[in-house]
Chains A and B, each alone.
Chain A
Amino acid sequence: MNNLDQLFIVSLSGLAIVIIIGLFLPRQATWLAKLSPLLYVGQLLLLIKMASLVYIDAGSASEIQSSFHLHLLGEPLQWRFDALSWFFAIITVVAALFAALFMSGVWGEDYRKKTSANAYTMLHLGLLLNVNSMLLLLASGDFISLFIGWEFVSWASFFMMVLNPQKVARQAAMKYLMYAMTGAMALLAAMAYIYDISGSLQYDIVRLSMSHLSSEQIIPLVILFVVGFAIKMGVIPFHLWQAVAYAETPAPGAIFMGAISARMGLYAIIVVLFQLISMDNFAYIHIPYTFWNVQSVLAWIGALTTIIPTYIALKQNDARHLLAWHGVGQGGYMLLGLVIADNVGSAGGLLHVFNHATYQAALFMTVAAVMYRTGTSNFDKLGGLVSQMPLTFMVMVFSIIGLAGLPPMNGFVSKWMVYRSLLLDGQPLLFVAAVIGTLGTILSVYKLVHNTFLGQLRVEHQEIKEAPLTMLIPMLLLALIIFVTGVMPGLILDWIVPVQAAIGLPPLDYHLGGIILPTGGLDMIWLTLILFYGFAVGAVIFYLIGGRAKHVHQYDNYAGGHFLTAKVRYHYSHNFYAGLMHLIGGWYRGSFVRLEKAIVSLVSFLSQLAENFYRANQPTMLVVAVVVMAIWGIAVGRFG
């Protein structure tokens, strides 16, 4: 019974506890809700006990094998943890812990009152199911267990999504299910292909047989795998399902899924493309009839994913949807960084997984807190909340600085590394694409913070207070993490360098404050000091040398050149980037939406055709069938 077994037992017994209490002791459910973070604390402790996977010393093993295994269909099934699994697992469990903390307090009480005790238990169950299935996926040690984990994750996400009974959420969940099933079937097809090639679904054997594959064999294989996994990540062209589905789940679900769920796709891509089929080959595999190779195609997919969903986010008029669309877009940076496959870029991609989880969770929490107080996340109905909820505002500012990738927050470090490796690799076009993505991010996070917190307060919000303490604590903790890991990225790079080793990439040189490169590294500690020094200089100039400052009341400002008295509340938030949209609005063509509709119509058409067959005159059909078969039989006999 090693730590991995214990981890599974703890997470499964958590599930059992919630189910038993939910079914048989509904009165105790409130206590359970209060104590639910402990379930994740237990898992976190076990993960910490397994930390020797990344803090490697002389005696530590590179893999922890679970003692539970099966042998079915002539294939062994096994579960194990390595540095890569550990890295994703700790993000998962910490994200769940924060979501549970957030949920265990006032938010949960409120949710229980608005819905029912049962629905609240279901929410806990959904979170636990998600964590369990993700751990199962991360521990998979062969393709069958990978597929099992993959399906579990898909269905657990679906379960979480349908907890919101509203129509928009249900439609999104159904759409997700279709995408997820398509992905699962693509994965199954890829597994079938692998089995055909190597005669086994065990990683060791597959890895060996992958090394002597021709490019004609490898391209369809990569396509099938990437389709399967990219659907979960919401990579272009499969980005349509994710944002609405994640945004519309109940807040803790959105916090958790926004932080980590979609990254399971990235994990699987890493396992297959890096650990099994070495990424080194991809630069040499040319796509027939084009001047691209597999690596550059993947990189461009990543780059387009940073751009398109981000600019879709810019048009959103609901804070949750805006954030969720960013979640899709940020996945592009991770993929882009990893696909470059050098030491800086891949570390940047992996680091971005962690960073994104922190600020995305914090952002969804701030939005949930605003929703708790105001009842809406619609930009048209918000504004000026900074005077009422200053701490929430501060957390949001920390997080959007991270999301936009500006110093000194953690998002900057990972994005810098991705940019840097693009430049080092000689990919200026990809660099420009990444920067265009970041531009869109900055524009839309400004929209987020402006439309929610800045400007004039609405009349109906005059009485509201700061978010309650149970919400503030996890939010502030996350803000702290965002800042600390921004200043000292070495803390997280400690985990990432062993992961690089585990997936066969060159390791990064780093120190506590940043990374070391022969052509100029990055030291966040110095950078932050200089930044604050600059602020200090600015403050000195402003307060000491500058003239008398006038304190302007929140209602005493206006925008857009309209002449308004201070009595008229005015907040410019609707159709926020009207000027910009005038310029780029024509680019939004909805091509992917139309493609999706076209596929549905095609299926509908085929279905009608098939139905006509079953309505046809049957004996006639029978005669026709026999004649056709007879002709076929004769033809085969004659020429076969």
Chain B
Amino acid sequence: MDKLVLLVVLPLLAAFLMPVLARSSQVLARLSGLLVLLISITLVLNVWGEVDKQAISFAIGGYQPPLGVVFYIDQLSLLFALLIPVMVLIFWPWNRPSSIQEYSLMMLLTASASGLMLSGDLFNIYVFYELLAVASYGLVSVQVRQGQHPVVAWVASLRYLLLGSVGSVMMLLGIAIIYLQTGTLNLAQLSLLAPEALNNITGLSAFVLILVGLGVKAELFPVNTWVPEVYAGVSTRLSALMAGLLSKLAVIVIVRLLVLLFPQPEALHLMTVLGMLGVISGELVAWRAKDMTRMLAFSSIGQLGLVFIAFSLPGNIGLLAGFAIALHHLVVKPALFMLAGGWSGRLEKLSGMAQSSPYHVALFVLLAMSLLGVPPLPGFWVKLLLVMNLAVQTDPVYHFALAFMLLATVLEAAYLYRVVMLFYKKENHTHASSQHSLFDWITAIALAAVLLISVVQLPSVERKLVSMAYQSGNRLLYIHTVFANIGTPEARIDRMSPTDQAKQPLVSEPSIKEKAIKEDLVLGSAEQ
């Protein structure tokens, strides 16, 4: 298990060694990056399944928590530890001649993202988040889209940088507040102290600051204005990586903190409201978008809004719905960006595309349907899950969120199918043709295949997600796992194996009602 620290160390090392290595051999330097990614993937696959029953934590360098640096690994962090190298590998700039610095940045991105997912203390989370931000600023300014004037991209990346740094400062401020209140940054210890120390207005303000800070990456409503500029300016492979993976990483960190540190219902409400605003504003603007990447960028804002709404549901069910939507978006949106790569320019120019490239268009239709939530595609099930669980909440804010979500879906259908109709327009002399690179096309097909396989494997996917949600939603498990080695008094916390919890019904609240009604049914039939 300790080997997992290599997930951070190796890419970091590669990031700094690659430019040096490139002086002697370009090929070797370039290969080393890929090699590191492959090693990371094998590392994760080796331990895959070991955390299904019990999460694992280990201290780095022998310093025990709460003072030492801790890595915490459960199903959630392991899944993302796998997804990070896989996605980076998929969205590696295969399709264009790139400088070694760019590769180096990609490795930095991998290292910091893995660190962000595995770290068990706030300070490291901040450090890795900053590293991640730096890597992404660099990539945004380097991977300028073809045909895009570099100055436009630089301006976009400068704005991104400004917004991102303001966000980072806020996050740091939030962390500082937490440290002032509790005197520690270790998540497990914080979690122990949180019910007393952070369950107040100070704690809430710390959460708000961190939410805004991380929200910049997570495309949270008021701090997401960089999204359309950047996604339209950079290469679609980078857009896909950012919309698909990076945004989710920030969300996952927020969720971790929410579960461990911030039990306040106000925190959840804030997320619901911001999510609602994100959904409706994103989909509304996407409705007006004039080109494909911009449309997808706004749609991504909308989808992230949905993710926030889902995670704002109290309890494990919120985690389940959130994971489902986030992972669905993680598969679908990059695939759509890959398709958009060959369809640059104004939407009207794409008219009649189905004649020249029917398979690309068919794939777009499939992905759009899943995004909309047309059964039996996975998008339907995740939306249904969210709808059902929003409905059973007693708090009216969730019912508003439900209404917003349904309205947004209609808008989504409007703009996605306006494009589809354009594609299938019969043009007598069409100039429209796709300019997809082979890599983009293969990537899109592979992602769509994942989508279709998950349709067939729905029950097992559901099981996996449920067990993941129950494991990551268990605050006590986290504390216990981290402190297991030192035997603090708090370690006496009764430990419920997560598999037992996974057997509990998905929705706890209505199941009581359901039970009563079912009993009614049985009694009724017995009387007859």
Contact = CB atoms under 8 A, between A and B. Distances in A.
Interface of A: 70-74, 144, 147-148, 151-152, 155, 162, 165, 170, 173-174, 177-178, 181-182, 185-186, 188-189, 191-193, 195-196, 198-201, 204-205, 208-209, 603-604, 606-611, 613-614, 616, 618-619, 621-622, 624-626, 629-630, 632-634, 636-638, 640
Contacts of B520: 208
Given A185-B407, A198-B513, A200-B517, A614 B506 contact: no
A45 B321 CA distance: 44
Given A148-B380, A607-B284, A614-B225, 14 more contacts: A72-B381, A147-B384, A151-B374, A170-B421, A178-B413, A188-B383, A188-B384, A193-B391, A196-B392, A200-B510, A205-B514, A613-B225, A614-B298, A622-B223
A144 B384 contact: yes
A70 B411 CA distance: 31
Contacts of A182: 410
Nearest to A196: B391
Interface string B490-528: 000000000000000111001111100110110010000
A192 B413 contact: no
B517 A198 contact: yes
A219 B45 CA distance: 54
A125 to B, nearest CB: 13
B392 A618 contact: no
19 contacts: A73-B384, A74-B507, A151-B380, A170-B421, A173-B421, A177-B414, A181-B413, A185-B407, A196-B392, A199-B392, A208-B517, A608-B288, A610-B284, A618-B159, A619-B162, A622-B167, A622-B223, A625-B223, A626-B208
B406 A188 contact: yes
Interface of B: 159, 162-163, 166-167, 170, 200-201, 204-205, 208-209, 212, 222-223, 225-226, 228, 266, 270, 280-281, 284-285, 287-288, 298, 369, 372, 374-376, 380-381, 383-385, 387-388, 390-392, 402-403, 406-407, 409-411, 413-414, 417-418, 421, 424-426, 458-459, 462, 505-507, 510-514, 517-518, 520-521, 524
B514 A199 contact: yes
B120 to A, nearest CB: 27
Contacts of B513: 198-199
Given A74-B506, A189-B403, A196-B510, A618 B375 contact: no
Contacts of B166: 619, 622
Contacts of A603: 284, 287, 411
Given A147-B375, A191-B387, A73 B381 contact: yes
Chain A to chain B: the 9 pairs with minimum beta-carbon distance, closest first = A637-B201, A199-B510, A192-B391, A625-B222, A199-B514, A199-B513, A185-B406, A165-B426, A610-B284
Contacts of B372: 181
Given A72-B462, A148-B376, A173-B421, A613 B391 contact: no
A204 B520 CA distance: 11
B458 A622 contact: no
B201 A634 contact: yes
Contact of B414 (A74, A178, A204): A178
Nearest to B513: A199
Contacts of B285: 607, 610-611, 614
Given A73-B506, A151-B375, A619 B163 contact: yes
A152 B375 contact: yes
A637 B520 CA distance: 44
A231 B473 CA distance: 41
A144 B510 CA distance: 17
Contacts of A613: 225, 281
Contact of B170 (A74, A185, A191, A626): A626
Given A205-B514, A603-B284, A162 B163 contact: no
Contacts of B406: 185-186, 188-189
Nearest to A163: B424
Nearest to A611: B285
Contacts of A606: 284
Nearest to B287: A607
Given A71-B459, A195-B510, A618 B212 contact: no
A459 to B, nearest CB: 32
Contact of B212 (A147, A152, A629): A629
B517 A618 contact: no
B157 to A, nearest CB: 13
Nearest to A638: B201
B266 A192 contact: no
Contact of B228 (A173, A192, A614, A638): A614
